[in-house]
Structure 1
Amino acid sequence: MSLVNPTLVLNCGSSSIKYALISEDGEQRIEGLAEALGNSDARIKHKNLDGSKVEINIPNSGAHAEALQIILGELIAEHKPVAVGHRVVHGGDKFKSATIITPEVLATIEELASLAPLHNPANAAGIKAINAIYPDLPQVAIFDTAFHQTMPAHAYRYAVPKELYTEHQIRRYGFHGTSHAYVSNRAATLSAKAGEQGWLVAHLGNGCSATAVYNGKSQDTSMGITPLEGLMMGTRSGDIDPSFHLHIHRTLGLSIEEIDTLLNKKSGLLGVSGVSNDMRLLEQAEREGNVDAILALEMFAYRTAKCLLGLTAGLPALTGIAFTGGVGENGADMRAKIVAHLKHLGAKADTAKNAELFRGAEGSFHAEDSAIELWVIPTDEEFQIASESRAVLGL
């Protein structure tokens, strides 16, 4: 059985390609992951339409082009896509919505690599690979930053000299845009409240961000010019004193590159606990009485709640909070810890309902007397990318 008018969604990383082929109605999909690209153990883990799985080694330490040749040829040849939607991390302030990819758009994506040096080049490589295989197939770029282009200037500007913004585009951009768009739209659909709605979306995983969304538009978000700003994450520090770099350089002699690695890859839950960036392992260590794990979890909950409370300033009214991401969807204990810090919002969780929401379950967990709604909504960035791609192409 072939998928009807499917859209191919690609998320190309520096050494991986996450892909999904989604039917026109969004009800069926084929998906997989090409990983370790460029290495001798490069492989594709593929899930067929019927749920069966297959793993294929990529010869010659395959890169993006080789992986896509196999994916489009051997794995999904019978399901010719009508379009390709690419997740592109950084669109700067040039792209405010889904954009059909032209040579000029591709060139701009490559130019914006200065803002996302680890991601935009890989995103461009995926676009070029599709051009080589299916030159006539329409392609669309869905930018992580685009959803947040509705933020007002008082939310996205930094308090630095104006020319840094006007001449060098130094501003807050925000990320996880497709996730925040999907979850906030879904929350508005699920809510019993009619009319205008204001939502806080907490995307909590190894990478974490929170966004204030009013009537479907981002008003403020936690991440900034890079994904390091904002919440405490798995290995990222989140907000930190801007003079930290200078202090650590002076006292320990670390270079800018070493400090960047410290804050992005050795901090967060991993750095504080000394145990892991995996919430499940930390909660096990918490039960065993590990004081560093206990502190890491409490910091994560407190700092998330503190951010959510701050983001309410961007909303004319607050309908509720939607949790998503690996931790947000599965971490009942962490959700309870966060909500406990939101007492001034009148947020109250139903313990039994909260405990039932994990492994892809969608539902509310607010108590009857809660002043705001509380939801768990599994994100579906692939569906969001496919939907926006089809919409901009008029399919």
Structure 2
Amino acid sequence: MKILILNAGSSSQKSCLYDITAPIPTLAPQPLWEGKINWTQDQNQAEITVKTATGAKLQETIAGDSRQVQFAYLLSTLTEGKTKVIDDLSVINVVGHRVVHGGQDYRDAVIITEDVKQAIARLCNLAPAHNPAALAGIEAIEKSLGNIPQVAVFDTGFHSTLPDAAAIYPIPYQLAEAGIRRYGFHGISHQYCASKAAEILGQNLSSLRLITCHLGNGCSLAAIKNGCSIDTTMGFTPLDGLMMGSRSGAVDPGILIYLLQQYNYSSEELDKVLNKASGLLGISGVSSDLREVIAAKEQGNQRAQLAWDIYVHRLRAGIGAMLASLAGLDVLVFTAGVGEKSAAIREAACESLGFLGLKIDFEKNQQQPIDVDIATSNSTVRVLVIETQEDWAIAKLAAGIAQQCYKLLQQ
């Protein structure tokens, strides 16, 4: 079974093609093909990179045209040129999509219908940087591959187990009844990493209390007990919680009222400030990329130093909040771009947790470990660095649904 995965972001579109044989393997196989589109800030150019399992690579920049045209070009590299891995797009059996916001109606992976598409569209205002991109990918597949089965996997789904005390905001209850609640995000990654942690440690997931730290351009934490999410830092939208690359994370809501009343900010201006001009970028004035902020800090840039200090402070505070929800901790997991690659962030986050008996092996931490326990042998808490495999998690769910549908058709 050939499964195409689309992982849409606000400024990028990641895709990969898996060839899976039954039964579905536990470990992630290497994709036959991986493609990525990065859109420039003005959206006028698309940087396209492709690589295959055989080592073939392609890198091009395309100017102008629409996103759908650019995506169609990316798909063409599956069947043409040096990155060709299949003879025709028709051999693809199912397409899986990461969809950030599924609201309260969509918690499990589902076959995409018109009703599902309309629900994703309705939720665009809650995930404006992501849901529209996912919808565009779904429609692009319809144009390129026709009626091929498509499956939506929702980032919010894993957090549907949040207890009401964690999910309901202390605002008028009728607003909660209208759907204003904590949904949580990065659920596909948090769920994968929790299961992978149990596998690495050779323990039953239901016996572990975990805090998973998904630290990338977007950042969130999850408290996981008995295999279920019981608390998380992102909320009604992906804007809440930790300091991020260009997103503010949690701020005093009175600031927004003040900006509206005293500076006549429009809703569009508030959205731009909080989602695109805050976080590491807003404080440092250097970049939303932590690597560039660290480089500037090491050169004596005081605003970069401040950005680092705030980032670490809020990360530690967030871990503390998750720790309280769990009433203890067995495993701390770092994942995503920053979590997997920044030894300095992992060290800074763990430094304040020594009172738990948590101790990291500094040599292991510096070795860019992947799927490894970096805690010392006498640490009371295991500390894992796990490469998140969102695409593979989506592929397994899509394959399972596709197999179920095929069996129903055969009956």
Q: TM-score, normalised by structure 1?
A: 0.91
Alignment of 1:34 with 2:37, yes or no, is yes
User: Which residue identity lines up with residue 220 of structure 1 in the other structure?
Assistant: D
Deviations 1:236-262 (A, max 9, x none): 221111101122334444333223222
Alignment of 1:20 with 2:9, yes or no, is no
Task: Give the aligned partner of residue 224 of structure 1.
Answer: 235
Moved more, 190-199 or 222-231: 190-199
Alignment of 1:50 with 2:54, yes or no, is yes
User: Which residue identity lines up with residue 30 of structure 2 in the other structure?
Assistant: Q
| 1:60 to partner: Cα distance | 6.2
CA distance in 2, matches of 1:269, 1:330: 17
SS of the counterpart of 1:308?
A: helix
Question: Are the equivalent residues in 1 in contact too, given 2:212–2:223 (CA < 8 A)?
Answer: yes
Alignment of 1:198 with 2:201, yes or no, is no
Task: Give the aligned partner of residue 318 of structure 1.
Answer: 329
Q: 1:76 to 1:44 in 2, by over 3 A?
A: farther
Q: 1:341 to 1:70 in 2, by over 3 A?
A: closer
User: Which residue identity lines up with residue 46 of structure 1 in the other structure?
Assistant: V
| 1:10 to partner: Cα distance | 0.7
Alignment of 1:134 with 2:130, yes or no, is no
| 1:111 to partner: Cα distance | 2.2
| 1:290 to partner: Cα distance | 2.8
SS of the counterpart of 1:348?
A: coil
Alignment of 1:363 with 2:367, yes or no, is no
Length, aligned pairs only: 388
Deviations 1:131-156 (A, max 9, x none): 23333421100011111111111111
CA distance in 2, matches of 1:267, 1:242: 15
Unaligned stretches of 5+ in structure 2? 405-411
CA distance in 2, matches of 1:296, 1:67: 35
SS of the counterpart of 2:245?
A: coil
Structure 1 stretches of 4+ with a deviation exceeding 6 A read none
Question: Are the equivalent residues in 2 in contact too, given 1:357–1:363 (CA < 8 A)?
Answer: no
Question: Are the equivalent residues in 2 in contact too, given 1:144–1:178 (CA < 8 A)?
Answer: yes
SS of the counterpart of 1:137?
A: coil
Q: 1:61 to 1:76 in 2, by over 3 A?
A: farther
Alignment of 1:372 with 2:377, yes or no, is no
CA distance in 1, matches of 2:292, 2:64: 36
Task: Give the aligned partner of residue 408 of structure 2.
Answer: none
Q: 1:381 to 1:240 in 2, by over 3 A?
A: same
CA distance in 2, matches of 1:304, 1:40: 35
Match of 1:102 among 99, 113, 119: 113
| 1:28 to partner: Cα distance | 2.4
Q: 1:36 to 1:288 in 2, by over 3 A?
A: closer
| 1:307 to partner: Cα distance | 0.6
| 1:27 to partner: Cα distance | 1.5
CA distance in 1, matches of 2:318, 2:295: 26
User: Which residue identity lines up with residue 385 of structure 2 in the other structure?
Assistant: V
| 1:369 to partner: Cα distance | 2.4
Unaligned stretches of 5+ in structure 1? none
Alignment of 1:165 with 2:176, yes or no, is yes
User: Which residue identity lines up with residue 37 of structure 2 in the other structure?
Assistant: A
| 1:101 to partner: Cα distance | 1.2
SS of the counterpart of 1:61?
A: coil
Pairing of 1:1-395 with structure 2 (within 5 A): 5-13=1-9, 16-24=12-20, 25=25, 26-29=28-31, 30-36=33-39, 41-56=45-60, 61-64=65-68, 67-68=71-72, 71=75, 73-74=79-80, 75-78=84-87, 80-167=91-178, 169-194=179-204, 196-315=207-326, 317-357=328-368, 361-394=370-403
Deviations 1:280-318 (A, max 9, x none): 222223323333222221221121111111112332652
User: Which residue identity lines up with residue 18 of structure 2 in the other structure?
Assistant: I
Question: Are the equivalent residues in 2 in contact too, given 1:179–1:379 (CA < 8 A)?
Answer: yes
Q: 1:235 to 1:35 in 2, by over 3 A?
A: closer
Task: Give the aligned partner of residue 409 of structure 2.
Answer: none
